[in-house]
Structures are given as C-alpha cells and as structure tokens.
Chain A
Amino acid sequence: MKDNFPAWYQKEREEAIKHLKEAKVAKYGVDIPLERYIGQSPSLRKRKKIENLKELKKSVQVRLESVGERVDERYRSASHLQEDDSTVYLKGVEGLLPEGVVIMDTDEAIKRFSWLRDYYFKIMPKRLNKYSTFVNAYSKGGIFVWVKEGVKVNLPLQACFYLKSSNYVQTPHSFIIAEPYSQIHLLSGCTTDKECRNSAHIAVTEIYVKEGAEVTWTMIHNWGEGYHIRPNVGIKVERKGRYISNYLLTSEVESIQAYPTAVLEEDARAVFNTMLFCKGRSKIDIGSAIYFKGKNSKGEIRTRALVLDSAQCFMRGNLQGTSRCSGHLECKGLILSKSAQASAYPHLSASEEAELTHEASIGKIRAEELNYLMSRGFSKEEATSLLVRGFINLDIPALPSVVENYIKKVIEMSAKGSI
C-alpha cells in the first residue's frame, strides 16, 4: 500500500505509528486495546470489485438495506461500498450525479490530489486520542466526496461501510468537502456480515462546509454484539453554511463512543439529531459539540435514547458560545428495563451575548400515560410502542422509508421486551 502515496502522507503515517505508543486514552467510552488489531489483515487480502450491488449475496443485501442503502440505487445519486479495507463499488447513478461531484476512495484521492494535504487532519486533531492517532497511522479507505462550487446534488449519495472479517478493525478516513454554495446529502450506513464477530470500526471523518454550502449527513448504524465503534467526526461550517447530522443506532454493540464536533463561523448553522436504541449490554457514550465562533451562528443538538435490557447510555452535549449566537441542547432518555442505565451530561458555556439553553430528562414510561392509552383500547404492548415512538420521533425528513419501517419494528420489539 505504501508505494504510491505521496511523501508527506507516508511521513504522517510513520510519525503516527511512532506516536501511537504514547497516545492518549480517550476521555470517554471504554478503552479498546488496539494492539490486538495491529498487523491484522482482513481474511481476504484483495477484495473483488463488483459491477452492481445486486451481485451481492441476498443476506448481504438485507444487511445493507437495514442501514438505508438501496441495492437498486433508486432515489440515490451515487453508491459506495467498502468491504473491510477495500472499496468494492463506487459509482454515480447515470444522469443523477451532476458533473462537479467527485467521489472516490480516500486512498486514491490522497494519491491524486496533493491539495488534500490542506484538509488532512485539519479539523479533527490527529492527536486527540489513540483512535485518531490510530487512523492517522493505519487508515485504509474511506470515502472522499468533493462537491464543486454551486453544484447541488438533489438525491442522497449512499455510502456503506461493511465489516466482513472477524477480529478485524476497519479504519476509514472520509472527507466531505462542499465548496461554496454547493449542496449534498450523504447517507451512510455501517453494518456487518452475519458471520462476522468481534470486529471494530475506528474512523475519522472530516467535513468542510464552505460559505453558503449545505451538507446533510445521515448515518445509520446496525452492528451487533461484540463490536467496538469509534467514529470521530470534525466539522467546519464556514459563513452562512449549514450542516445537518442525523445519527441513528439501531442495534446492540459492545461499545460506541462518539463526540462529533462542529465549529461554526458567522451566520452558520448546525443541527445534530441523534436517535439511539441502546440494547443488550451495549455501552454507549455519545455526545455532540458545537463551538459558536462566528456571530449569529445557530445550533441545535437533540438526542433521544431508548435504553433497554442492561444497556448503559451516556448522553453528552456541549455548546460553547463565544460570540453572539443561539443554541439549544436536548438530551432525553427513556429507560425501559430495570437493569438499563442512562446519564445525561449537558454542558453550556457562554460569553455575554450568547443565548444557550438545555433540556435534559431521563425517566421511564409513566403509568398515567400507559393507563390513558390502554383506556382507548390499546394493549399494554401497543401503548408502550406508541409512547416509545412518540418519544424517539425527531421528525427527521431525510430518513429512508426502509429505515423508518425498521425503526417501527425495533420499537415494537423493544415494547415487547420491556413488558
């Protein structure tokens, strides 16, 4: 792999490898011993490229669809699939992906565009913790999306990170670079093969929303028992830019820790919507942060967590207002089982002109509401699922219908499990 990379990049990696031994343990989340993954390779060295997503096995197609990917590629402008460390599919849908949108595997982009150096670990600190350093040292793949000035992509671009090998770590480094007044929606799904066990996904994504541009990133995660997930995301939103993040976790995991952080310039906006189904023995630690650097910047963080079984959920939120700005933070947890646990850590810090508010709540379903709905003829299970649906609903317009149906199913199952 080393061969064709530019010298600056090779140096970056060498330094990161040196650094890794002393790299900081992350502030939040359970610590993953990374040593066990170093030197591991995926079970198959070279992944076979495919011509069409329909070539995939039916069982794989089902997994992809569970995270919002459309195998038929309808209503999508482009599709990407990374299996373990290799991009096996990457194509624009004919007539729907405008010229002026460049999508490629990140490793390719690094070889091709020398200017990418100016974006590489420029918004995400590479020494933030051992995970960012690990990606700095060993990243493979990732999706590079570059939307040129004024180009608007109407339909979402779908990207999928698929884990196939067991005891393996996937380390994509992705970029979204939206030039001034461009517009794009990236719909990314992360999931695993049904045979895959005990793997990890440690990623870095850097998002640059330039003046007046709009980026929506909808991320849907469906992992499984035994997976450690560390998506590190940094976003820079320039003047009048707009960034919308929708994050949905539908499955059990061993652990997830994420703290996507957006820095807003003047008149910029950021919205983080997060819906978490914390199941099984998942240890989930998710927060979002917004730094309001520019005046009249606005931001909102809304998190809803449904905490079931013996899952643990930490919801964090951080609004840092250093100029005239307004921000709102909401962390709400609904606990559906006796051994489930949730904590909320809202943090606001403001200078005089900033207007920041927060709302945090954790509780269980109230008997009063349950009785009320049951008195309208709904069984306990139906009433619970209605209340859960009402709780978790963040009215995310971009959610694919297959995912909405999937959420409905998860809610019904959760309601059943909680009674």
Chain B
Amino acid sequence: MSNLQEEMEIRDLYVEVKGNRVLKGLNLQVREGERHILIGPNASGKSTLAFTIMGFPEYKIAQGEIRFRGELLNNLPIDKRAKMGITLAFQSPPKVNINFAEFIEEIEERFNHSADISEFARDIEHFKRRNLNDGFSGGEKKRSELVQILAMRPKFIILDEIDSGVDIDSLKLMSKVLDRRKESMLIISHYRHILDYLRVDKAHILGFGKILVSGKAQKILNGIERYGYKGYLKELGICKECPLKECVLIQ
C-alpha cells in the first residue's frame, strides 16, 4: 500500500445519458497530488465522466461508485461536491446574464478566498464589465474558467479540454499557473501538447465507455503520437478483443 491517499476513486462506473449508456464499467483512481490525463477520440465519454463526477442530474449512474477522499459522491448534489473541493473547468461554458466581476466576488465570498485574476487577464477592466462568457474569445473563456475554479479553494481540478480553441500564449500562461498548484488534476484532452508545459503523471485512453489503457503519461502519449490511436491499441494488443464493427477507434 502506498502512503498516498486515494483522492478520487471510481469503481465499475456505468452512466446513462438520455437513455444511452455512455460509460460502461469505468475504473479510475487518482491519488493526492497526482495529475492524470484522459484522452480518447470524440464521443468516447470524456466529458460524460467529468459531468458525472461533478454530479449533473442528466448523467445518471446506473451502476458503480465514485468516492472522493473516501466519501461516496453518487447521490450528492452538484453544489455539495463543489464545496468539497471538486471543481470543473468547462470545455464550453454557457453564456450567463451575470456580470463577470460580480460573479467572481460571489464565489470569493462563498469560499472565503480571493481569486487572483491579474495573471489571467491583461485586460481585466474590459473583462470585468462583461457578462459571464458573453462574447468571450476561446482563450478568455478558458482563463475565466480557471479564475473561477481557483477562487473555490479546489482540492480536485478537472480540466475539460482546456487546451482546445486557445492560442499557444494562453495555453502557456494557464499551464504555468496550473503547474505551480499542488491539487490533484484530471486533464481531459485531445492533444498532447499540454504535456510540453505541464507535468502530468499518468495517462488513460478512454474508449467504449471504459479505460482501455493506463500508464505513464509520457509513454502513452508518445505511443499515440507514433502509431495513432488505432495503431497504438493494436500494438498493445487491445483491439484484438474488440468486436470490430462497434469500434470507434479503428475505422
């Protein structure tokens, strides 16, 4: 047994969305302070996992359990999970009719913590006047997401495609801030280049609603880089078990 505590522990998780089973027996453990990257093709269920951990009611757990620091999350409402320190930076946050600066203040008040926006926005004043995600550029949306979750005294950070739709400068800036943090992280991504700026411990490939491969981040991402999903999974001998016609990876 390691002396490091399991932060997030997901066992045999089956999740249904609008009657469709998206996750089918997913297992994942993230220990304290670890950073994991979850990759997989489109529609493999990456965001579904993020929303299920966060507790969105439309994502129904049919089987299995999610525990955070030993506590069962399955039936806890979203806000309770947020207050436990589970945070999610959304891939596409919705536009909300609330002034950005006022919203940050509301979060700060709730978590008795002050957010440092200076690092994220060179144009803070401009940012402050606008409504949440209203007319934000791709990079602004992601930076605003980070400001929000860092104001929440997070313990567990889920980053849903923080690297998509942003320019390289934004990505560098955000990675620099994140790299200093000690919280455990689950990074959902399509791409490997976030690894150039952010230390990541483990990687998992998601497919068919479960984790197909787990291992050292560098090794797995190098493998995908070299062979592609299809080739890499073949190389590992995983695809042999798969009935080819339902395979989303190998087409």
B58 within 8 A of A: yes
Choose among B54, B56, B110 the residue that contacts A378 (Cβ–Cβ < 8 A).
Answer: B110
Interface check B217, CB cutoff 8 A? no
Taking the complex as formed, is B176 at the interface, i.e. its CB lies under 8 A from any CB of chain A?
no
Known pairs A367-B57, A386-B103, A387-B98; list 18 more (Cβ under 8 Å): A366-B94, A367-B58, A368-B94, A369-B94, A369-B96, A371-B54, A371-B78, A372-B90, A375-B54, A375-B82, A375-B88, A376-B82, A376-B148, A377-B107, A379-B79, A382-B79, A390-B97, A393-B97
B179 beta carbon closer than 8 Å to chain A: no
Residues of A within 8 A of B54 (CB): 371, 375
Residues in A whose Cβ lies below 8 Å from that of B77: 374, 379-380
Q: How many A-B residue pairs have CB under 8 A?
A: 62
- A247 → chain B closest CB, angstroms: 20
Distance from A407 Cβ to chain B, minimum over Cβ atoms (Å): 15
Q: Which residues of B contact A369 (CB under 8 A)?
A: 94, 96
**Size bracket, chain A contacts:** 20 to 34
Cβ B131 vs Cβ A377 within 8 A: no
* A residues at B contact (CB < 8 Å): 366-369, 371-380, 382-383, 386-387, 389-391, 393
Closest 4 CB pairs of A and B: A390-B97, A374-B78, A377-B82, A390-B98
Contacts of B93 in A (CB 8 A): 372
Contact between chains at A387 and B79 (CB < 8 Å)? no
Give A212 Cβ to nearest chain B Cβ, in Å: 31
Interface bits B87-104 vs A (CB < 8 Å: 1, else 0): 110100110111000010
Q: Are B96 and A377 in contact (CB under 8 A)?
A: no
**Partner among B58, B90, B111 whose Cβ is within 8 Å of the Cβ of A377:** B111
A393–B96 CA distance with the chains assembled, in angstroms: 13
B193, CB-defined interface residue at 8 Å:
no
Minimal Cβ-Cβ distance residue in A for B81: A375
Contact B152 A377 (CB under 8 A): yes
B83 within 8 Å of A by Cβ? yes
Contacts of B81 in A (CB 8 A): 375
CB distance from B203 to the nearest CB of A (A): 25
A-B contact pairs, 30 of them (CB 8 A): A366-B94, A369-B94, A371-B56, A372-B90, A372-B94, A374-B77, A374-B79, A375-B54, A375-B79, A375-B81, A375-B90, A376-B107, A376-B110, A376-B148, A376-B152, A377-B83, A377-B107, A377-B110, A378-B106, A379-B79, A380-B77, A380-B79, A382-B79, A386-B103, A387-B96, A387-B97, A390-B96, A390-B131, A391-B97, A393-B97
Alpha-carbon separation in the docked complex, A371 to B79 (Å): 9
Could you say which residues of chain A place their CB within 8 Å of the CB of B111?
Answer: 377
CB distance from B69 to the nearest CB of A (A): 17
Contact with A along B190-211 (1 / 0, CB 8 A): 0000000000000000000000
| Cα(A375)–Cα(B57), bound, Å | 12
Closest-CB distance, A411 to chain B (whole angstroms) = 13
Tell me how far the C-beta of A343 lies from the nearest C-beta in chain B, rounded to whole angstroms.
22
